[in-house]
Structure 1
C-alpha cells in the first residue's frame, strides 16, 4: 500500500490510500488547520509537518499513526516570518528549515529526538530587490533545500534572483552564510531539486519560465550555473508561472510544472555534464498545477491542480521518462502539495484500473 497526503488551501490535509491493485481504498481528511499549503516528512517517517501559509507563518508537527495513517497533533511553533510557503527537514532529522515568501526570511527550528518542534533558533533576512517591481520589490524566499550528504542548505529567493548557500552548523544549531549565485535578472527562482549524485542542482524560475542547472562543488560549497532551458514551448503566448521541479529517483529525468500552460515539462539529464535535454510536455489535466511529486519507486507521478480542485495520476515510462495519463483523478478543494509515504511491508501500489 502507498499513502498520499495532500496539503491544501482549503483548511484540510487529505489522505489517499492506494491498494496493490491500484484502487483508492480511502479518501478522507485527516487534519484541519489554517492553509496547510506545504507538507514535509521526518526521515524516520513517524512525523509529518504541515506549514500554514499565514501571517505569521506556523509549522505544525503530527505523529503518523502507522496502521491507519491518521495524524495525531504533536505540537506547533509560530515563525517570525510571514506567508511561509516551503519547509524541508535535515536529513539527520535534527532540524527543520522553512522559507517565508512574504517577509523574505529563512528559518531554522531544532527538532527533538521524536520529531517535535522546538522554538525557532535562527532567522535570516535576505536583502535587496529584483528587476520586476511588481513581484521583486524586496526579498521573497521561496524554498529551503538541504544537501542530502553535505552540511549545506540552499535557499531560492524569487525577489532577488539568487540562490543562497548556507553552511549548517549542527553543533551550534545555526546557519552560516557561505555564498550565493545570481540568476538572470527577472528570473524569479522558486524551487530547487538536487540530483542523487549531489553535484547537480536544478532551479525552476517562476517569472521567466525557465529551469537553470547548477554545478555544486562539495569541497568548497560553491555553486556555478551550467545552463538554462525554457519550460514552455515557443508557441505559448499566454501567462505562465512554473511551480515545482523534481527529479526521477534514478536521476535520469527532470520534471517541471507550468501554471498557465498547465503542463509538465520533461527533460532528460546528460549523465556526465548534468545538462538538460528537452523531451516534451504533457497536459496536467487540470488548471494551475501548484505542486507534484514522484513516488519513491519512480513509477508514479501525482499532480495537485489548485484551481481545478483535482489531484491527477500519471504513470512514468521507465525508458523515456514521459508521464502517461491514467485518465484518473480525485476531487479535492484547492490542493497545493503532494507527499508520498510508501509502506514497504504492503508492497508498491499499482494505479492501473478504473478512472475516478
Structure 2
C-alpha cells in the first residue's frame, strides 16, 4: 500500500520540500503492514499540510498552509504529478481541504473562513467564495444550553467534568474567542459539516448557506469529524480530549447524543479521528502524551465506550490512518512515520511494526485512494 505525504516546509518551520510518497509494504498490496519507506517527492510544494483526492479524477489537492492558498496537481505517471491550473488564495492558514466533484471546501484556521473553490470539468480550481463567517448573521450560539445537554448525556457521575457556562457568560466568551475553522466533512443529502475549534462549533451547511449551528461546551475545541455508517457524526476535540456523538432527529436537526472521555493527560491536544473498517472502533490521536485512544461504538451508534490508551510509537501524532490491521501514524515532531499492529481481539493498537524517516509529516493520503 502507498500513501502520499503532506508536511511542513521551511516556511512553517519544517523540513518537507513537497508532497512525499510512502511505501507501506508494496504498491499493489491492500495492507499497510509491510516495511515502510519514503521515496522522492511526487511534486514540489510549500507546506502542503493537508491532501485530498478528487472523487473521480486523477487529481490531488493540497492546502499550502503558509501561503494561504490551495493548489491542484494532476497525475502524469505512476508516481509523478504536475501543477494543474493556478494557485488559488483562500485565506489565512488553510489547514484542511475537502474535495467534491465540483468544488473544494477549504477550512482556514487563521481567520475562521470556510471557502468554496469551484472546480472545472478537469478538476482545475477556479473562483473562490467565502461562505458567511460566524459573525455575519448566523443564529446566536448558546453555550449554556450545550453544557446542560452534555451533562444530561453523560449523567451525574461525570457531570462535574462538563464546563459551566451561564447565559450571561456565554455572550461574553463567544465575542472574545477567535474563529478557527478546522475541517469539513460531506454528509448525505448534500450537507456539509464543519468544525470551528476556536468557537466550539459544529456548523451545518447546504448550498453555501449555514442551516444549523451546534454549540459544544466552552473550551472543548471540536477539531476533526468522522461520519459513521449508522448516520452518527463523531467529533474529536482538541482542547478537552473527548469524542462527541452527534445525530440528526426526525426534523433533520443535529443534536449531541453521546460522548466519551479519552483519558487525555493535562496539556494534551486532540488530533485526528479515524475509524476501523467495520465501524466498531474509533481511534483518536492525542499529541503531548503521544497516545492513541481506542473507543468502541455501541448501541445504534450513540454510545461511545473508552477501551484503552496506547502509545503511538512516535512524537506528536499529527495524523493517522487505519488500514485493516494496521495504524499508520505521522509523527510530526519526530520526522518519522510509524506503523502499529492492531490486536484483532480488542481493537487496540499494540507494538510498532515498522518506522521510517519522513520530513515533518502532517497528513497521510492513501494512494491510489
Band of TM-score, shorter chain: 0.7 to 0.9
More helix by share: 2
Kept in 2: contact 1:84–1:99 (CA 8 A):
yes
List runs of 5+ in structure 1 lacking aligned partners: 170-174, 344-356
Q: Does 1:62 align with 2:73?
A: yes
1:262 to 290, 298, 314: 290
* Higher Cα radius of gyration: 2
- Aligned partners of 1:275, 1:72: CA distance in 2, in Å? 45
231, 245, 257: which is aligned to 1:226?
Answer: 257
The count of corresponding residues between Structure 1 and Structure 2 is: 324
Q: Which residue of structure 1 aligns with residue 178 of structure 2?
A: 138
1:248 CA drift (Å): 1.6
| 1:24/1:205 CA distance change after superposition, 3 Å | closer
1:178 Cα deviation after fit: 0.6
- For 1:85, the equivalent position in structure 2 comes to 95
The 5 A counterparts of 1:1-356 are 2-10=1-9, 11-17=17-23, 18-19=25-26, 20=29, 22-24=34-36, 27-44=39-56, 46-55=58-67, 57-65=68-76, 68-90=78-100, 93-127=101-135, 137-147=177-187, 149-167=188-206, 169=207, 175-197=208-230, 199-217=231-249, 220-232=251-263, 236=265, 238-295=266-323, 298-342=324-368
Moved more, 323-332 or 206-215: 323-332
Contact 2:57 2:123 survives alignment (8 Å): no
Q: 1:54 aligns to what SS in structure 2?
A: helix
Flag the 1:330–1:252 CA change in 2: closer, same or farther, 3 A.
same
Q: Contact (CA 8 Å) 1:77, 1:119: kept in 2 or not?
A: no
* TM value normalised by structure 1: 0.84
How many angstroms apart in 1 are the aligned matches of 2:113 and 2:354?
A: 38
CA RMSD in angstroms comes to: 2.5
SS at match of 1:118: strand
Partner of 1:351: none
Instruction: Give distance in 2, aligned partners of 1:315 and 1:47.
Output: 31
The alpha-carbon deviation at position 23 of structure 1 amounts to 4.1
Q: Structure 1 residue 30: deviation in Å?
A: 1.6
